[in-house]
Structure 1
Amino acid sequence: MNHAVIDIGSNTMRLSVYACPKSGNDIRTLFSKKEMAGLAGYVTDGALTEEGINRCVFVLKKFQESLTAIKLEGIHVFATASLRNVSNTEAVLRQIARRTGYAVQVLSGEEEALLDFVGAVHSVGMDSGLLVDIGGGSTELTSFENRVVSSALSLPFGSLSLYTKNVSSILPDAEEQANIRRMVQKELKKVKTEKEISEICGVGGTIRAAFKLHDRWFGDPEEMTAQSLTEMTSRLKKPGKDIIRTILKTAPDRIHTLIPGLIALQTIVTETNAKTIYRSSYGVREGYLYHHVLGEPIQRKNG
């Protein structure tokens, strides 16, 4: 059985097609596509503009064209903060349905965090810790122990929104980086987060880009220490031509959001006293597939 999953994010829109066994849980990715839609940049006075809706529909139609020759059991489309955090969600959903035929499911912040966890546990051998997904418009934190979720929450900042609200040029200067850090700290203080976490599991595009840069500088694409993360953010405090060239070689489509995302991650690591960050190749799309399509339950503390 083949299933397609489309994720409408604030920064990127992604299509993944999976081969799913009739029994067992070893899904296989057949192919994936990504478009830097940047929908968060099309929000005016809290609403997604007509231009933003057109951009979203355009990408969805491109994805549809990619799926015409593939036999599929189902096409599953969901949105995260991109449509969750706008004031005209229902109007946008109606337009998308009329123009593409897709009925988009908008995930709550908690649902997104839980599905991140479901996907990640299939990829990383961590039994306990904190799962972190720094998206374009929100950040999800999921605490778990013995592979059982103890808390799941969503914070109203992401790499793209941090950039949009704080940065005047392509890369943030030292003062703008300090402002980003303060904004993240302020949001973390509003919620109850684990204060002693030894290990973090990172998922999503920001984490993937961070690990690509970490691999270039430290030679490890799968594991990052709090110390090496601090060294990375320190090198980026005064981003000159060499830093720009490095980012362009490593993650060119995230030239503007990589530093805000790294600052957010480093702030979370500092606040939780985490020592090690691992990268999961699975996240919310795989979690959606496992839970909503294949029926895998989510193990949560106290039911």
Structure 2
Amino acid sequence: MNHRIGIIDIGSNSIRLVIYEVLHSGEHRVLHEKKYAARLSQRVSPDGTITKENIDTIIPVLLSYQDICSAYDVLHIRAAATAAIRNAANSEEITAWIRAATGLTVELISGEDEGRLGFLGVRESIPLQDGYIIDIGGGSTEITLFLNREYRASLSIPYGAVNSHARYGTADYWRSETVQGFKHSILTALKDEDWLLAHPNLPLVGLGGTVRALAKMVQKRQAYSLPLMHGYMISKEEIQSFYDTLPYIPYDQRKKTPGLSKDRTDLIIPGVILLQTIYELLRSTHYVVSGAGLRDGLFYEPLHRQFPQFMDQDVLYKSVHNALAFDSLAPQEELDQVYSLMKRLHTTLIGQGQTQDERIIYAVSMLYRIGERVHHHRASSHSMYWLMNKGMWGLSHRETVISAMICDYHKNRTPKQIQDHLDILTPADVDKIHQIGSLLKLARALYSGGKAIHRVDMQKTDDALHLQLNCSREPSVERVELAEVKKDIEKAWKLSLKWSLSLSSTC
């Protein structure tokens, strides 16, 4: 039986709610999200405490979140607080006030645990083997190292976007000496951490509002054609350009920066200084944006204990099966048959494919009918839209575009769609879309009449692909669809498609 879990993250800048639904075998999805900008880091008194009056301002938010959880039939709420409350001199008193007013038991997450939980969110959503993670919050910044997809180390420094702005960003814009002073403070806080210097040339995965805001600005500047943020890669030069300019632009002019939201106009400066300073210290190769982090880690931590068999699968497998469990109307037997046929056809034509091709084949064979949840009419177009706007954890942005176009592959539509995404696709990708797209159509044709064809033998010669179709009955439906896909295969693969039939009484 499915059950629902609420995660409340009481951060230094914002308070967030996420409601998850979990099935009996571990598949899961997000049902609802909510955010409230509390900026608790700005409410810390000079003596390091947060007064009850200030905590009282967030009680209505927490009560609202509990009401929402009740409306969604949530069975369990896990509430956690990060830097602003954990670093307050009266942190235990604060959690007691919250418990008395709401009934919520709030976990105080240490800086190291915040890094570890952020890593769990990243590991579940991005198939990177090694890297550093940076999570710039409102009142602290966490840096985490993972190697071979295993957590190695993390630390927390008391510099976040909100408290650093309060300390350094009092003017309309920052002076050069202020920027350099803040940078010096960051490096001083990290100077004794030798492990930060031990693994150069790794990607830096970014969590939090600063990284997402900068990524949105880069995408706006590039007129990026895919409406996705998670997994987006950013070069050092792109962030460096913002580091070199944003601090010195007056507030009224800065807030007009394309892609920058008004509530991030002040916080973006300490955020970009933290980000680029730490990037240079780590000698990273590039940035990767993650939409999954602490809140996801708070959810995944117990899920791994409850469903180890499912949760130990790779990122793409879990992401695909989450989608199938909640959004697919197609019989799993059909999807499995199409996947098997596509793999065999691909191997017959080019030998053992690249890992990337195998991943794309798996994704499209499982998801090409996902659009039927929207409407059966033009379902393949809905599948393409679903993939391009929802994304699929485990696929890069480039793989996502390729997979989406394959799901909706059509000799007339697809060339026009390709033109809309030339900022992401390479010339080789265009050939891949036509080749794997035609294989999807061929595999679907071979299974279009159900179990009429019970075995397909395949052979490739220099100029032709030969299919021997072993049938339990006359494959009338398959004949028609094979004739329709023949030209697509021949054009994409530059060979002839031929088939012959044999009838048998056994299936």
Q: Distance in 2 between matches of 1:11 and 1:89?
A: 17
Q: Distance in 2 between matches of 1:170 and 1:291?
A: 43
Aligned partner of 2:270 among 260, 267, 278: 260
Change (3 A) 1:27 1:259: farther
Deviations 1:70-106 (A, max 9, x none): 1112111000112110010111111100000100011
1:207 corresponds in structure 2 to 211
* Structure 2 counterpart of 1:214, one-letter code: V
1:89 corresponds in structure 2 to 91
1:291 corresponds in structure 2 to 301
Q: How does 1:195-234 map to 2 (within 5 A)?
A: 195=197, 196-219=200-223, 221=229, 222-234=232-244
Deviations 1:20-78 (A, max 9, x none): 23223x43111111111011111111001223211221221222232231111211100
Q: Distance in 2 between matches of 1:171 and 1:295?
A: 49
1:102 corresponds in structure 2 to 104
Deviation at 1:219, TM superposition (A): 4.4
Change (3 A) 1:137 1:197: farther
1:281 corresponds in structure 2 to 291
Contact 1:113-1:153 at 8 Å conserved across structures: yes
Contact 1:171-1:255 at 8 Å conserved across structures: no
Find out whether 1:175 has 2:177 as its counterpart: yes
Deviation at 1:250, TM superposition (A): 2.2
Deviation at 1:125, TM superposition (A): 1.7
Deviating more after overlay: 58-67 vs 35-44: 58-67
Q: Distance in 2 between matches of 1:115 and 1:156?
A: 18
Deviation at 1:294, TM superposition (A): 4.7
2:125 corresponds in structure 1 to 123
Find out whether 1:235 has 2:242 as its counterpart: no
Q: Distance in 1 between matches of 2:176 and 2:23?
A: 50
Deviation at 1:193, TM superposition (A): 3.8
Contact 1:214-1:232 at 8 Å conserved across structures: no
Equivalent residue of 1:295, what SS? helix
Which structure has the bigger radius of gyration? 2
Change (3 A) 1:64 1:169: farther
- Residues paired across the two proteins, number: 297
Equivalent residue of 1:201, what SS? strand
* Structure 2 counterpart of 1:20, one-letter code: V
Equivalent residue of 2:279, what SS? helix
Question: Structure 1-normalised TM-score?
Answer: 0.91
In structure 2, list runs of 5 or more residues that go unmatched: 313-507
1:41 corresponds in structure 2 to 42
Contact 2:207-2:289 at 8 Å conserved across structures: yes
Deviations 1:165-200 (A, max 9, x none): 111135434333222222212112132342214211
Q: Distance in 2 between matches of 1:16 and 1:58?
A: 17
* Structure 2 counterpart of 1:82, one-letter code: A
Contact 1:133-1:141 at 8 Å conserved across structures: yes
Q: Distance in 1 between matches of 2:22 and 2:214?
A: 30
Deviation at 1:251, TM superposition (A): 2.1
Deviation at 1:293, TM superposition (A): 4.8
Q: Distance in 1 between matches of 2:72 and 2:260?
A: 32
2:25 corresponds in structure 1 to 23
* Structure 2 counterpart of 1:166, one-letter code: Y
Change (3 A) 1:93 1:135: same
2:280 corresponds in structure 1 to 270
Deviations 1:106-152 (A, max 9, x none): 11111111000001111112110101101111111110111011212
Deviations 1:178-230 (A, max 9, x none): 22222212112132342214211111222212211222224455111112111
In structure 1, list runs of 5 or more residues that go unmatched: none
Contact 1:135-1:205 at 8 Å conserved across structures: yes
Q: Distance in 1 between matches of 2:91 and 2:302?
A: 22
Equivalent residue of 1:5, what SS? strand
Change (3 A) 1:258 1:237: closer
Q: Distance in 2 between matches of 1:163 and 1:74?
A: 36
Contact 2:173-2:248 at 8 Å conserved across structures: no
Find out whether 1:142 has 2:152 as its counterpart: no
Equivalent residue of 1:228, what SS? helix
Q: Distance in 1 between matches of 2:222 and 2:241?
A: 10
Change (3 A) 1:242 1:218: farther
Question: Structure 2-normalised TM-score?
Answer: 0.56
Change (3 A) 1:211 1:89: same
Higher strand residue share: 1
* Structure 2 counterpart of 1:267, one-letter code: T
Q: Distance in 1 between matches of 2:190 and 2:118?
A: 19
Q: Distance in 1 between matches of 2:127 and 2:275?
A: 21
Change (3 A) 1:170 1:56: farther
Change (3 A) 1:99 1:201: same
Contact 1:9-1:81 at 8 Å conserved across structures: yes
Deviating more after overlay: 15-24 vs 260-269: 15-24
Contact 2:7-2:77 at 8 Å conserved across structures: yes
Equivalent residue of 2:151, what SS? strand
Percent of pairs with identical residues: 31
